[in-house]
Structure 1
């Protein structure tokens, strides 16, 4: 049950984690500034653009590097430290940055399942039983779940992520198929629809030129209809006036 002590504990833990993330962001920003100050990005660019294989060689090297770095760094550090170094090189090689970002995101998802620092492994370890217990429904003895079982259970999911990385590289259209489609927008049609949906406004009636006072009316021509009374400007005021008129009758 929720209590003040439990709430304080949750706030304390959340504050600590938030501070960790902020300090990681500050450290990565300082590292990036220092690295740029010593022309580090230019060195990385010359190193990666001079590799054999062109775009394919660059993508294979980058994904292997991200995969092994994910064993020790989570996605946050990879996003703020490694990706800013790789994005300019990918842009220079003619790689679509949106597609490249999705590719790296799929690869960095494996950081949640890598031992020994995978967050998903920690979450499962915190809820999985570490001691033998009796099931309340079946009344059977349930064996504990060991840490090695959790590690081996994450292997198929890591393999699935690696297969997805290969599919995105082999078939870029999985990500970028709809990026080049132009969306036709008719601004005149949108403006007319907005005017029609605006409350309290009615389309103006076409103006009819008034006949001259001295000109005789054409035979058979109908007399102009009397102008309709103007609507109340304030509907709320009209309703209040009507209610005030009805009160003496009651």
Structure 2
């Protein structure tokens, strides 16, 4: 049978053990920092994203850290830091990373109190070359590095063999899915320097069936083309030899030089 003083000692020991394992809840951050993005909401990966902000007067001189999260679940990482000015303002910037969602916030700690801002969001875009994407379907269409007007376009799409446009009425083409993730097509159109004299090609682009006629190109410098492909699914590039090319059986290549699309994710 335990003596009374033994019970008292046991109770004291159990109380000490319980106190040792009590979890102290983390201090909740106070959302009193204001973060305002001053650069576009749709940067290209690698672009600088700039912010200004305001803080309570009590945080003058404190360090605010800009944090970035890629996607929805990745860890927050420090992107930049600066001090709050005497008038309660600050300015800093970070680099857009990856493709798709970037989240941003600022935090500051002073006298043991944690301060933070609401989360700001940006959608990050990146360029994807058509030559590096799979086609949905194609007819005599391929990719290569090719010179047009003395300039080399290393990631071009074009007819896959030089006599493909010499056949009467023949149209060659390639189709890609944009998956509603892209907003801009950028390319240089022209005829390869290796083409026979007199060779010409007609260039046509279809975006979800809507036609853009780029006209006829012959030997000479390529022409820059930029096309809006926002909220579209299917991209189709076509080439057809001109009547003289087909009549005279001329060999050559119609080139969509360095054709690429700007997208918020791989199409």
**TM-score of the alignment, normalized to the shorter chain, above 0.5:** no
Greater strand share, structure number: 2
Q: TM-score range by the shorter chain?
A: under 0.3
Task: From the CA coordinates, give the structure whose radius of gyration is larger.
Answer: 1
Relative CO higher for 1 or 2, CA cutoff 8 Å, sep ≥ 6? Answer: 2
Bigger fraction of residues in helix: 1
Q: Scaled by the length of structure 1, what TM-score is found?
A: 0.22
